[in-house]
Amino acid sequence: KISVSIKHLTEDPYTRIINKYKIGQKYPAIVTKVQDYGCFAKLEEGLEGLIHQSELSWTKKNFHPGKILSTSQKIQVQLIEKDVEKRRLSLSYKNTLANPWKKFTENYKTGDKLKGSVKNITDYGLFVSITDTELDGLIHYKDLSWSEKESELEKYNKNQSIKFKILEINTKEEKIRLGIKQLAEDPFDFFTNKNVSDIVTGIVQSSSQN
């Protein structure tokens, strides 16, 4: 068998169209379809690309793309990959928006004192929405009080306003570790200038008999 083609005698119009677009550049587009895994957006007639769910938001995880974009919505996208042979374009919506992680690291640093509200309470700590940012942080129960008891979690309620200190900013893993106990003096600092055999005054809190 010999296969012949007439269309291959002329230039593929798709190639001509796609070569107008450069990787890394931003272009206007219209959302054409919303799926569970992402959104399709049209750059021009006959040329569409996929905005994968991971390229929709800097902060949201495990969400339906329809919560970010809707059909017929006019947006800006960045071309991040193109495969002429497979006729596929990969687009990013979040890259056209300000990166909240970059903004946060420019404005804040480890040791800064901030405010926020309790977003969620788990058995190992509090997830907190940080005021004036789009980001959340975690306060492990051991960083709630110098007692480091899990029971400290019972003192907090959802949406409660709290103050805390930044303990760690991990932009690679997109995690912020916060602490409340660090706002208070460490009770063990009392022993900083004490030596073995020094006499100190104390109060009996409990006693037991054998």
pLDDT tens across 113-168, in order?
999 999 999 999 999 999 999 999 999 999 999 988 999 999 999 999 999 999 99
Q: Which long-range contacts (CB under 8 A, 24 or more apart) does 147-152 make?
A: 150/123
What's the angle, vertex CA 76, arms to CA 74 and CA 77, rounded to 5?
Answer: 125
pLDDT at 95 over 80: yes
Torsion-angle region of residue 83: left (phi > 0), alpha (psi -120 to 50) or beta? beta
Query: Is-contact 119 101, C-beta < 8 A?
Result: no
pLDDT at position 143: 95
Q: Using the predicted structure, report yes or no on whether residue 94 has a pLDDT greater than 70.
A: yes
**Residue bearing the bigger pLDDT, 5 or 83:** 83
Angle formed at CA 125 by CA 139 and CA 165, multiple of 5 degrees: 10
Q: Compute the distance between CA of residue 110 and CA of residue 119 in angstroms, rounded to an integer.
A: 21
Q: Assess contact for 24 and 90: CB atoms under 8 A.
A: no
pLDDT one-digit tens code per residue, 10-20: 556 677 788 88
